[in-house]
A and B are shown apart, each in its own frame.
Chain A
């Protein structure tokens, strides 16, 4: 089942912060975050594992709340290069072969 991302779109000024949320109705083993720029392939940002700690990548970090089956991506002091569509991919605990299911994406626009 597809995870739900919110908000669908956000517009920021350079230097502002943003939070993107991803939630699932199923028990998750991991959450993967990707960024895709227009016309390009998605690029991996980070993985959060069940029982793992908050991860960080430059000024982008994320957390995983196992009780709520939710993950949040935090972008601090946003830069123009952060613009793109952010996808969360969730890995569900079900059976022996797990697959990633992606959310519909959050379009982030950073203005100068």
Chain B
């Protein structure tokens, strides 16, 4: 079974720009969660999508948004980029059965550098 894929793997943007990251979950997984990882803050939960609906949201400003398509692929968008948005953005997919969070399988991440 193919793993979680994320594109692009690396990205360089400048302050004020916007960026869209993509995540394709493992086949059959309907839940996609996004995390921001930085050396200082560790793994921070951004949001989760299940069946095209946002189910949970972390404590991030409205500049961070996402969506999920009918094939479970998900995109994350960050508008008006700030230097502090430089991070590794990880997406993880899982089955999420009966409201429970099943094992999450992480993609390789997209490393974003904001200059």
Residues in A with CB closer than 8 Å to B108 are 40-41
Q: Is the CB of B106 within 8 A of A41?
A: yes
A29–B100 Cα distance when bound, in Å, is: 9
> CB of A84 within 8 A of chain B?
no
Q: Using a Cβ–Cβ cut-off of 8 Å, how many residues does chain B contribute to the interface with A? A: 22
A99 touches B33 (CB 8 A): yes
Say whether B28 faces chain A, with CB atoms less than 8 Å apart: no
Give chain B interface residues in 24-48, CB to chain A under 8 Å. Answer: 33, 35, 42-45, 48
B101 close to A30 (CB less than 8 A)? yes
Given contacts A41-B90, A41-B108, contact A99 B45 (CB under 8 A): yes
If A91-B100, A99-B101 touch, whether A104 touches B33 (CB-CB below 8 Å) is: no
User: B63 at interface (Cβ–Cβ under 8 A)?
Assistant: no
A: residues with CB less than 8 A from B are 29-30, 32, 34, 40-44, 47, 87, 89, 91, 96-105
B-to-A contact residues, CB < 8 Å: 33, 35, 42-45, 48, 50, 55-56, 58, 90, 99-101, 103-109
8 contacts between A and B (CB under 8 A): A30-B100, A41-B108, A89-B43, A99-B48, A100-B45, A100-B104, A101-B45, A102-B43
